[in-house]
């Protein structure tokens, strides 16, 4: 009887050790975490302030092109061949310029965003390392990237809220404003619609 109890206790102890040594895994929405920290919100507001004027300009130019296209459709039957060709060339040129400027603006925005978020990401990595060490976490998976290979994760494994709170307890990193590119004058936070069809 004693031998059976001894064997049972050894098996239980072995199982307990195996469980303790099993990897502890967590998941985080890294993009959401960055944007929800105080530093992330400050960076997003800075980007909006810097690039909203350019975005509004591109949207206005797009609306002007659409208005020209509508006016062309209303009057093309009464226009001479030369006048129609000139109107088409004018609209096509406006569209090409808008698309080029929108691409430049988007590149400027992405460069500024990467510069601001790069500093925050370094601090976030330090917070993640500290949190993992404190909670004996072996691996942390980022679920913000799409697509990802994670098929299921229990809600209890999501540490996004805890990381945001831990990040904000640390000294804030004040993002440094990137220098504006004078050639294009900024970037649009969202790409304006420039896909209006040609009147041809």
For residue 182, tell me if it sits in a domain: no
Q: What is the pLDDT of residues 94-103, one digit of tens each?
A: 999 999 999 9
For residue 130, tell me if it sits in a domain: yes
Range of the domain at 160: 18-169
By CB atoms closer than 10 A (0-12, 13-18, 19+), residue 91 is: buried
For residue 190, tell me if it sits in a domain: no
CA within 13 Å, CB half, 60: 6
Confidence grade of residue 146 (pLDDT, cut at 50, 70, 90): confident
Mean pLDDT value across residues 5-14: 45
Helix or strand (DSSP H, E) at 153:
none
Is the Cβ–Cβ distance between 173 and 39 less than 8 Å?
A: yes
Contacting residues for 115 by C-beta, under 8 A, at least 6 apart? 176, 178
For residue 67, tell me if it sits in a domain: yes
For residue 99, tell me if it sits in a domain: yes
For residue 10, tell me if it sits in a domain: no
For residue 141, tell me if it sits in a domain: yes
Contacting residues for 44 by C-beta, under 8 A, at least 6 apart? 35
Q: What is the pLDDT of residues 170-200, one digit of tens each?
A: 754 444 444 444 334 333 334 444 444 445 4
* Number of independent structural domains in the chain: 1
What token pair was written down for 39?
């530093």
For residue 158, tell me if it sits in a domain: yes
Question: What is the domain-level CATH number for residue 147?
Answer: 3.30.910.20
Q: What is the pLDDT of residues 19-58, one digit of tens each?
A: 445 789 999 999 999 999 999 999 999 999 999 999 999 9
């Amino acid at each position: 009887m004693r031998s059976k109890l001894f064997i049972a206790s050894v098996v239980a102890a072995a199982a307990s050790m195996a469980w303790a040594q099993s990897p502890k895994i967590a998941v985080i929405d890294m993009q959401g975490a960055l944007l929800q920290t105080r530093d992330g919100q400050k960076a997003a507001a800075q980007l909006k302030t810097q690039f909203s004027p350019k975005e509004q300009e591109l949207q206005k130019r797009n609306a002007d092109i659409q208005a020209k296209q509508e006016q062309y459709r209303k009057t093309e039957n009464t226009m001479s061949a030369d006048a129609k060709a000139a109107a088409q060339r004018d609209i096509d040129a406006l569209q090409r310029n808008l698309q080029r400027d929108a691409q430049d603006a988007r590149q400027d925005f992405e460069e500024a965003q990467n510069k601001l978020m790069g500093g925050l990401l370094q601090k976030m990595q330090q917070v993640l390392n500290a949190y993992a060490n404190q909670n004996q976490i072996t691996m942390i998976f980022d679920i913000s990237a799409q697509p990802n290979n994670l098929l299921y994760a229990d809600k209890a494994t999501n540490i996004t809220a805890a990381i945001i709170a831990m990040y904000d307890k640390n000294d804030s990193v004040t993002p440094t404003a990137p220098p504006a590119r004078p050639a294009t004058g900024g970037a649009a936070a969202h790409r304006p619609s420039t896909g209006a069809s040609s009147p041809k």
